[in-house]
Amino acid sequence: MSYYLSSENHLDPGPIYVRENGQLHMVNLALDGVRSSLQKPRPFRLFPKGFSVELCMNREDDTARKEKTDHFIFTYTREGNLRYSAKSLFSLVLGFISDNVDHIDSLIGFPEQIAEKLFSAAEARQKFTEPGAGLRALQKFTEAYGSLVLCSLCLRNRYLVISEKLEEIKSFRELTCLDLSCCKLGDEHELLEHLTNEALSSVTQLHLKDNCLSDAGVRKMTAPVRVMKRGLENLTLLDLSCNPEITDAGIGYLFSFRKLNCLDISGTGLKDIKTVKHKLQTHIGLVHSKVPLKEFDHSNCKTEGWADQIVLQWERVTAEAVKPRETSEPRTTAQRFYGKRSRAEAPLKCPLADPHMNSSEKLQFYKEKAPDCHGPVLKHEAISSQESKKSKKRPFEESETEQNNSSQPSKQKYVCLAVDDWDLLNSY
């Protein structure tokens, strides 16, 4: 201590207190030596003036303090005292793995109960919204658990989510219901081509209402089923309404969907509707419904699975990314002054979306004896029974035509493919 006090080149440590004979004395440093002060000592302060205590528990910017408090659970007693308890080892390991979920090699064979908790922990940390890392993490879960991650996906009127999260959407497997209504995809969209992949062969309900599709898009979507007997072969419900570029020739490609029970082609560019009705009934047994079918009211298809909240996070992130800046407010006020509306204020509505429209304008078909597809409303059961009596004669006619065709040479049994079909198959 004498060396420290006698040295001149040292930093000022502040006041130093020494206890002698039961009394506390403050030692002052001076140039001429050390002098003991017998004055009355000032009250000792543990913290300087203006110091405040702040409890930092979940601050993302302060990682050091977060690591210290992340292993504890803080609660308050009835008396208002702060009490903390240590977290379990399982929760600590679960939190560590969820923070590094994108580095997992594989989850195949991992228990589903623990995997669901791991998925929820990573979702709470918003790991699936991170670019790059979120896609890798989501692929690990979809490869191992398939329909548990997501069995039904509704992206109706969410074209921004499709454009921003296309690769994430393509990673979902074993979907049974997919709603892409009012997304304006077009014939050449990458997602439309992905529908023919074997990963989506489990889709049974597909809604493609108002997507600017034409006969070329329908031909591309049905090519694997028509030729290779794979793709959307399990499809039971198809909605192609509000696509005016689909003509009578495009409807002919739908005859390959043998399991189809419900079909909606309202608002398409059909010219000879009577012929189309007759072909649909003779080829795949679909009967025109006089009343709207409840299968096409878009209430059955909802986002269901572990990743249902992730889709909402994607929608929230994309909505925040396209929010107009503060500098664009004068422009919007000027547009309102001159009676103009921006695109965001007046979104385009899907045609034929009015539930009060005339039912005669709807071209919805159903299979009478299909167990999965419900018929029309009970009030119109008499009408459907009359139609069923008329359609009983047609199976006999079909059987006679099949017998006549069987007598023809065996060369006609092979599928006759056009040049466009061969080009399309070579692209897969």
**What's the whole-number mean pLDDT along residues 81-107?**
87
Name the band, by pLDDT with cuts 50, 70 and 90, for residue 351. low
Under 8 Å CB-to-CB from 337, ≥6 apart: which residues?
Answer: none
329-351: average pLDDT? 52
The residue count for the chain? 428
174's torsion region: left (phi>0), alpha (psi -120 to 50) or beta?
Answer: left
User: φ, ψ for residue 262 (rounded to 5)?
Assistant: -135, 135
Q: Which two tokens stand for residue 327?
A: 């500098």
Residue 380: what residue type?
H
Give SS3 for 194: helix
pLDDT digits (tens, 9 = 90+) for 129-145: 888 889 999 999 999 99
pLDDT tens-digit profile of 271-322?
999 999 999 999 999 999 989 998 888 777 889 999 999 999 888 888 887 7
CA distances from 298 to 144, 153, 230, 349, 353 (A): 30, 12, 26, 15, 11
pLDDT of 198 above 80: yes
pLDDT of residue 352: 45
Question: Is the model's pLDDT at 70 over the cut of 80?
Answer: no
Task: Give the tokens for residue 349.
Answer: 């509505």
Q: Which domains does the chain have, with CATH numbers?
A: 87-147 (no CATH), 150-313 (3.80.10.10)
DSSP 245: B
Per-residue pLDDT tens over the stretch 179-195:
999 999 999 999 988 98
Instruction: Express each pLDDT in 221-252 by its tens digit.
Output: 999 988 888 889 999 999 999 999 999 999 99
The conformation of residue 32, written as its DSSP 8-state character, comes to T
> Cα-atom radius of gyration of the chain, to the nearest Å?
35
Burial of 182 (0-12, 13-18, 19+ CB in 10 A): buried
74 versus 170: the higher-pLDDT residue is 170
The whole-number average pLDDT for the span 143-164 is 93
Q: What is the pLDDT of residue 331?
A: 57
pLDDT of residue 214: 94
pLDDT higher than threshold 90 for residue 344:
no
Residue in this structure with the two tokens 């025109």, named with its chain if needed? 288
pLDDT digits (tens, 9 = 90+) for 367-416: 986 444 444 443 344 444 444 444 444 444 444 444 444 444 443 444 45
The Cα–Cα gap between 133 and 110 comes to 21
- DSSP letter string, 254-283: GGG-TT--EEE-TTS--S-HHHHHHHHHHH
**Pairing relation of β-strands 23-30 and 262-264?**
unpaired
Residue type, 184: K
SS3 content of the chain, % helix, strand, coil (to 5): 45, 10, 45
Q: Rounded to an integer, what distance in angstroms lies between the CA atom of residue 78 and that of residue 305?
A: 39
Q: How confident is the model at residue 337 (pLDDT cuts 50, 70, 90)?
A: low
Instruction: Give the model's pLDDT for residue 43.
Output: 63
